[in-house]
Amino acid sequence: MTDSEATRASNLTLEEKAALTSGADFWTTKSVERAGIPSLMLTDGPHGLRKQAGGSDHLGLAGSVPATCFPPAVGLSASFDPELAERVGAALGVESAIEDVAVILGPGINIKRSPLCGRNFEYMSEDPIVSGVMGTGLVRGIQSQGVGASLKHFAANNQETDRLRVSSDVDPRALREIYLRGFERVVKDAQPWTVMCSYNRINGAYASEDPWLLSQVLRDEWGFEGIVVSDWGAVNDRVAGIVAGMDLEMPGSSGRTDAQIVDAVEQGSLDEAALDVVVDRILELARKAEARPTASAPLDVEAHHALAREAAGRGIVLLKNMAPVDGREESTPLLPLRTDGRLAVIGEFARTPRYQGAGSSQINPTRVDTALDAIRDAAEGEVTFAAGFTIDEDEPMTADAEKLRDEAVAAASAADTVVLFLGVPAHIESEGFDRTDIDLPRAQLELLDAVLAANPRMVVVLSNGGVVALPFAGKVPAIVEAWLLGQAGGSATADVLFGAVNPSGRLAETIPLRLEDTPAWGNFPGEHGHVRYGEGLLVGYRWYDARHLPVAYPFGHGLSYTTFSYGDATAEVDADGDVVVTVAVTNTGEIAGREVVQVYTSLDGSSVQRPPRELKGFRSVAIEPSETVTVQIPLRRSELAYWDVRVDRWVVEGGEYLIEVGASSRDLRTRTSVQLDGDEVDLPVSMNSSFDELLANPVVGADLRAAIEAKYGDADGGLLKMLGNFPVGRLDGFPLPRDEMIQFVERAQRG
């Protein structure tokens, strides 16, 4: 396809233009042969290529070609390493190019508003900075191979319940600062070829036909240059979508919506110029896709499996690591395991791994490593196995279940150490429905108690796409959060258990003590077509910190087999107005490791609601034993801003910002501060402005204060405080004559 007049919208017939705005079938776009416009293939991701062979569907029911199943976002995001994400993205791009796929659908960066969301395994974090930074890495990697990424799901798609119709009712500050901020980062930093609009409505408007979302915010404010593609089946009104800036409807509608577009143009209800804009963007996507070099080399299956194993190991989070001695927890860690000890591996997940989520991202892996096989390969001593439970079982004790439990207890009793694999079965969390609780199945918890009584030297390894409650955290000595780790997750788990890999994963979402403590409790999943985001800004750790709630494990937490110390942090403002935080970090242990250095900010005395602290930057750093590394972390001035609803724009509030640096949101090792100049905010002034607002006005504020104090004495004694919220035009003659107040207002309006 060439960039010629023949391949511009203005040289196509109306019918051809309309046809290009929807798919030919489930995964491909329509071609226009006479104009040399090719058909393009879009295929599911985002943690592996899901190119279906034969029958097509969007829920992972039909088979797909073999591809590398990398760790889903829940595992990859725990690495806190965008460079690793970029390498995984490049591998996804390579596999897509080999299969002649133009766009792979991912990454997904929706905020984990509630741990109940059935699709949380496919999303990055409860924090928009983590989501944006990690999403940027994936997009850059994918597109480095000449394949387009599709950033999804735009926007406020935070549940599966009634997901095609529900209205996410969220106030402007929370929408901008929490739910859109990650998308903004990826769009500005990586320019994904496509953005996928979500199914849901946002404050009543369908995302697929919302000009504010798709044109004003995405294109005009953020400078997005690509196309907007619908989620599969997300189109409500195709003609309204054209006007709003929704370019490509997927999948095809067998010509039904094409005819609607043609009819709307002919009837005059749709300006053909608006259709031309959409078509030209689709043609530009086709030009990008056609420019990709032909992929000639076959897939290097082993190299990609090795990368999947590395990424999985980097996503594992060591939550707890204490060895029991005579019934007491000692400072000596239980992990890493000795290779020559007698091990009892218990739990069906060790033999039958749950390594990916269910639904549209379900990959046909090139191979699958099991933890049981990997442990046996790494161990020199005896390894026994007992299933302990069946994955789908959560019923009262049956004879078969009792037999499995007895076998597990016997194996534990004869071992030096137990490695117990627990997890969430696939039928409990998936695309298409939400979870109803955050509990592990009862049968598994009962097994844990029985095995722990037989052998207190226990390591619990978790397999789950969303966080789970950990009522046993105070009883077991070691807990490994192993998420869903892709096809190499079994080997990666053994790598961490035996110390071949030093764990460096960190929690990208808080693990609560109870579901009732979570921010969206009582406001999830809504009712009668609406879900109210009543927690506002206080999502994730912001909520727990603001409410002083205890948690099982805080955001950012993760242990290592070594230790790190922090020097004194410093912060300075650079020439661009960004803040650069510098801190020296020393590996004080005896083995190499990685520390994820996290930077949180807060502003005491802010004029608007703020959480106690917010993550604004982070960096994963490899450090050798006894080595000290000077770590610099930039904090963007734009991401220190809040959304000012009075003027509908980002505003950096002036003041002294506290900078806290540490290993989690509740493990802060050093602090400093930096003074930032604020942005000027020119509020419209009228007789309905409050005294506080007029007193803060740079033109008349000082004179107004002087006039009031001249008449009533020291106004700081309480008069101005009492008047503060009162509109200046409501009290004729008090505290000043009305004509005087009018003069102050008019002076302020003139500036």
Q: DSSP secondary-structure letter at 64?
A: B
**DSSP classification of residue 23:** B
Q: Which residues is 430 bridged to in the sheet?
A: 433
Long-range contacts, 291-298 (Cβ 8 Å, 24+): 291/146, 292/97, 292/102, 292/145, 292/146, 292/147, 293/146, 295/94, 295/97, 295/98, 295/100, 297/98, 298/98
Radius of gyration, alpha carbons of the chain: 28
Closest CA to 233 of 249, 220, 256: 249
Which stretches of 128-207 are assigned E, i.e. beta strand?
A: 148-154, 167-169, 194-197, 201-202, 205-206
Q: Is 681 helix (H, G, I), strand (E, B) or coil?
A: coil
Q: What is the dihedral of CA 106, 112, 118, 119, to 10 degrees?
A: 10
Pick the catalytic residue: 231, 258, 369, 434? 231
- The 8-class DSSP code of residue 131 comes to H
Nearest 5°: the CA angle 390, 395, 399 is 70
- Alpha-carbon distance of 111 to 154, in angstroms, equals 11
Question: What's the rounded Cα separation, in Å, for the pair 238 and 53?
Answer: 29
Which residue in 73, 159, 174, 171 sits closest to 114, CA to CA? 159
User: What one-letter code names the amino acid at 557?
Assistant: H
Question: Which of 50, 32, 18, 207 has the alpha carbon at shortest distance from 41?
Answer: 50
Residue count (the chain): 751
Residue 231 annotated among the catalytic residues of the structure: yes
Closest CA to 321 of 306, 303, 336: 336
Query: Burial, 486: exposed, middle or buried (Cβ in 10 Å; 0-12, 13-18, 19+)?
Result: buried
Distance (Å, whole) CA 655 – CA 168: 34
Q: Report, as residue numbers or ranges, the catalytic residues.
A: 231
